[in-house]
Structure 1
């Protein structure tokens, strides 16, 4: 039996990178996958076709996770389309980097809204179904930056640190309902974003990591599968670092 067979999972921000890898991994392990994207309809349609090759139901939704009403409507539509919601993976996020002395209010507000408020929006909407079913797994993508901070990313670090506090609070509130809430904190993961970095900068990053390499999106997806499956049925309120030992 596959690890999340016949479970319904909702992945936000799944059109590329880590989110896309998570959606594919869940399909491979037998889950029916709903996912969101914000801009590229073509990428969304292509991902649906790729997911369906694993014999599961898949559907993409163009939705803004940072919009409270849109998030509530999204979850209602997913439940209507799939019948239930077992797993929520809050992955949507952005960066607007800059030193604090030069950071604008807009840069701060946008990152906090997209990265942190979206987690509140989707989780609040999803737990209604999970509480009725008395089961569920919420997985929030944070970052090692949310644990140790990073120069030039005060807004991003604050949003990701906030996700950790939110995750632990939800675990305490909903544990008695058999709803688990955990976070995954990726380190340096090789995606389309890192492809734009200079080779020298990439090598310096890798040399600072005990395992001497960057992580792959699929390795983050594997952590999410673990936290969604019954293999982690007695684990809640935790932050799982997928960072090659970066913060060891």
Structure 2
């Protein structure tokens, strides 16, 4: 798929990986629908994409809310007249051990911590994929859906909720690739390792040093490197049903 003038939706598009993807795809001529919950940062991201000379719009939407997702997708289709791609990037963290024992006292990961991550990181991907795919079929638009998983899908201590969600995303990527191929819709995934974002760069220096020491390339990935891979998947019409791992050689 040639990216010029193609309409791509990016959830979690106001900062970090989402914004990097938006700017990268805008530089290749794609039209962007950026989705998030922070209106100020979302407008900044939209302006950054527009600076590349392409059409870009902001959409406030909680991806875990079925009604909001349905409304958002309908609005994007109405505003742009087409939808050719989706990047399911929105995600949250609520890290913590499932059980922690200190001084004889047992603390537990709360159901709220578990459910919040599942709602956004897994159910949100399902809702956005379902609605975008349905609209693409309705509009007879072929294209691709890319799900952002994580190397934590293999299981990462302190991330029972996040690991479960990202493993689910990876599994459903294969399911949807098989189900939607007949409509000309490819579905693939990217599983980043540790990436330089606002979240990771806010960590203590000693924690960052310990993190990067375990990466064979001895550095974290850059958002532009993830964006480059997203563009590759969008452009390569034979790539579907696979998860592309970008972790600098790290294996959890």
TM-score by length of 2: 0.93
Contact 1:64 1:70 in 2 (8 A): yes
Instruction: Name segments (4+ residues, structure 1) moved above 6 Å.
Output: none
- Deviations 1:107-156, CA, capped at 9 Å, x for gaps: 1111100110001111111112222425120000000001x211110000
CA contact (8 A) 1:44 1:60 kept: yes
SS at match of 2:59: strand
The question of 1:55 aligning with 2:61 is answered no
Find the counterpart in structure 1 of residue 210 from structure 2: 204
Secondary structure class of the residue paired with 2:188: strand
**Partners in 2 of 1:57 and 1:27 — Cα distance?**
8
Distance in structure 2 (CA, Å) of the matches to 1:62 and 1:15: 10
| Partner residue in 2 for 1:32 | 31
TM-score with structure 1 setting the length? 0.95
1:77-123 Cα distance to aligned partner (Å, 9 max, x none):
00000010001000000010111121001111111001100011111
Instruction: Count matched residues.
Output: 243
2 CA distance for matches of 1:79 and 1:203?
45
Residues 3 and 225 of structure 1 are in contact (CA less than 8 Å); yes or no, is this contact kept in structure 2?
no
RMSD in angstroms over aligned alpha carbons?
Answer: 1.3
For structure 1, the 5+ residue unaligned runs are: none
1:193 match: secondary structure:
helix
Q: CA offset at residue 247 of structure 1?
A: 2.3
Between stretches 181-190 and 45-54, larger displacement belongs to 45-54
Say yes or no: does 1:19 pair with 2:15. no
